[in-house]
Structure 1
Amino acid sequence: MPPQLEVLDKVPWMIWTITPDGRCEFVNRFYLETTGLSADHCTAPPAVWKKSPRDLPPFLSGVHPDYRDRAASSFWDGVESGRGWTYEAPFRHADGAFHWHVRRAIPLHDSKGNLVRFVGTCADIQDFKVAQERLETAEERARLVVDRALDAIIVIDSDSTVLDWNEQAQDIFGWSRAQILGKQLADKIIPPEYRRAHKAGIKRFLTTGEGPLLNKRIEITGLHKEGHELQIELSIAPMKVGNRWTFSAFVRDLTESKRIAETLRETREELAWMSRLTAMGELSASIAHEIKQPLSAIISNVETSLYWLASSSPDIKKVSVITQLIGRDANRAIDIIGRIRSLINKTVSERVPLDMNALINDVLDLTGWELRKRQVSVKTELSSSLPMILGDRIQLQQVILNLILNGIEAMAPVEDRPRVLSVKSGPFKEGEIQVSFHDTGVGIDPASADQVFEAFFTTKPNGTGLGLSICRSIVEAHDGHISAMAGIPHGAVFQVNLPNGR
């Protein structure tokens, strides 16, 4: 063996040489050990193995069958052109497993430029191929995750150039990925009035490492491709790879959710109004009685006043007293009508400081005749130290009205004990007040105590299941909490907790 080939034979790398006509003249020991082929097999003359012009030589017999045609084409094209070849293909090793190889051959020429032979090397790139496949799979999976995300995902660099743009971003803002990649984000989806602040924010972060809006969810306005503005929820996360900063923006379109929320708000207000109308219908007899009392007193006093005025010597002093009584009863009637009207009307929600005890007394006055008619006595323990609350007068009156009427109805079938409605108010834990309504009625099943506040859940034969659900909506809208529990020894207790106005 020539000295140079002896050196190549000991190199831990697969090496071979090929004659200009394509015959393998040498394979090194590492090649034979790796492939499990013999030297005689690899260097067999063409007469033994070449049945057609482009058959692979024996030293390439380990090429995977699916890649033999491609390998043969690369090999013979390189031989015939004299330029050599490079290709990748799976190759069977001595243990029978196929490993990906990259095979490369270069031509060697003598001093006169004549082709002497090809020298080839082979590298096992199986681990690289596996890693590459895993990387491609991971990248594909990441791409699918990004594109299938429910939120828009936008990546920009420190110059505000768009680097990535998923399908949701296209759906929200109207720009396709091809249209916006490489473009300035501020020019496309940020309204003009925010562009300067956007650029200043990036510059500030790159200088100081601080950004007041980073890693937070904020609601802001975005710009659609067609020019109209969108309500969006935005969060931005900075990421540094090497010395390069990128910013990932996660965007959620709030336009539809805002519309739905507004529709739900209007629906809740409509249901609350209908509930008030229903309650006022149930109180119609009580209302008629409450109004009839001052009107009857006015008529009686007017007749008395006319009588004194018609006498031969009118008693002006008595007429004056009676006139004052007429005015008092008229104001009382006006006050009753005003309360009824405010409860029936669709009023705009307005939060003002309120005295909860006064609201309770107003509703008890309104339901007084109903309570007497149903033989229900009322016991009140209203704390004189109760702080003011901030709320909507009409909505909270509706809550009180519904709870009182529920208590009255729950006690209707009771015959073996007094019908008593206990109403208490007082400061609760720090920052809250509590109002409770305890009746001596049929009570509630502890297992359904939470269900009573669900829409359309009712235990009444003719109930709609909306009254308590509306009460909960109103209380929660006031940042409060309402609960129900079994009363001791009888009935049910409804508790309303509300934040005070301090």
Structure 2
Amino acid sequence: MRFARQDAGRHDFIFAGGALFVALAVFAVDTFTGIEGAIAVLYAIALLLAAEAVNRLGLILLTALFMVFSLASFFFTHAPDPDFATFLRLCVALAALAVTTALLLRNERARSALLRTNAALRESEERYRSIFDRTRVALWERDYSKLLDYITGLKSAGVTDMKAYVQDHPHVLGECVSKIEVVDANEAAVELLGSFTADVHGGVMHRIIPTDSCTFASLLQAIMDGATYFEDNAEVFNEAGERRLVLLGISFPTDPSAFNRVVVSMVDVTQREEARMALAEAQAELSRASKAATVGALSASLAHELNQPLGAITVNSQTLVRWLERDPPDIDAAKRSAERILRDSNRASDIFKSTRSMMLSTPKESETIDLERLITDTLTLMDHDLQRDRTEVEIIHKTKIPRFKAVRLEMQQVLINLISNAAQSMSASQSQKRLVTISLDSPGEADHILIAVRDTGDGLGDDAQQNLFKPFFTTKDNGMGIGLSICRSTIEARGGTLDGNNHPDGGAIFEIKLPKETANA
């Protein structure tokens, strides 16, 4: 830097000294010799020399000084009575100084603008190089000019679909790859694919791009179509010959002559794609496991729901046999047993149909239901079980319940589950009074109707209250733990709720709340 300043100072001194020498020489010749001519015009030479050493203000001051010299010489040599030719030469000299100064000032402005432009270009180039070199995205500058000329030639020959052309001429891909040259590569590019990717003289592109790359064929089509940007997932090879999955981005200039420096970016997405594929496999495995779990849950649900009608069929079959074995046979009693067998068989068939529609995700047929009639029919179905457990049922009608629009079998299964659980709870607790109370209420100010089933057993333990509706949780030795879970799902599907708690007066109470709009449907 110091030597540069010294060189600049020496340059200014030489030109300033030269300008002063020329000016003094012109003044001496113009003043002290008899040469007739526009000698003062030669001051322009001094201005040209001085322009290399002084700034704009200095140039203007020198011009004024040289004009003073010219006037001084004129008045000293031709005053007091100059002729016209002499006066004309003076005017020409002064005009030459003015024009020269104007041209030098304009040149200085242009030179300053050019210096500013060059400085801005250098700054821009430095910023670009800094970004190019330091960014963590793999970047290349590549020469696509030969490839552009080749594709332009194909287009001129009538080729419009590069993918189809490549399929018909497989060697074209390799030929196109060989026409791409590396101009520069940043550190991230070297880290991604290896040091050979920065070899600007090695012709390494054939080692990076697979010859069967569909992405490269799409890239050729983008160049043929005049696209300004191309982005796609691609497979490339690193220095060790390993395939890497990358997100490829290329910006193409609009000026064909600028294809000698095309910026190419790559982002390594190998781990992301591997994780995505692993996630897809895990989701497929989870789907298979979920289907298996669903089949298991449906099987458990089906076994649970069929237990009551099949048990009733068994008992009624035994009763039928006893009535027929009497002497004489009691035909009327046998007929009633057969009717109950038929009724329970139909109910088992309905359960199968309901389960099948659940598996097939087919909509279930709703019907208008009289809740009081439904409870009466349900108790009739459970008559044998209730008698066996010595359980009484009391129905309390607090208000009149409107009719329902629902699936009859579903609501019946919910009631059977709740009543059966209540009876079994009291039987297990050895309660002296085994009473199931079913309360029906539809408060006018509330937005729901209430169905409550209460027993007189020992109530729910802490563990039972926390896990009551979880699938496969049970407090019974031979229970499956799926009944209450099915009940809650059924009620919630109708927009209602099912909760279970201990009653303040003892025993457990389960409350069904259904929105009135469902009931009034």
What band does the TM-score fall into relative to the shorter chain? 0.3 to 0.5
**TM-score, normalised by the number of residues in structure 2:** 0.41
- TM-score when scaled to structure 1? 0.42
Structure with greater Cα Rg = 2
As a proportion of its length, which structure holds more strand? 1
More helix by share: 2
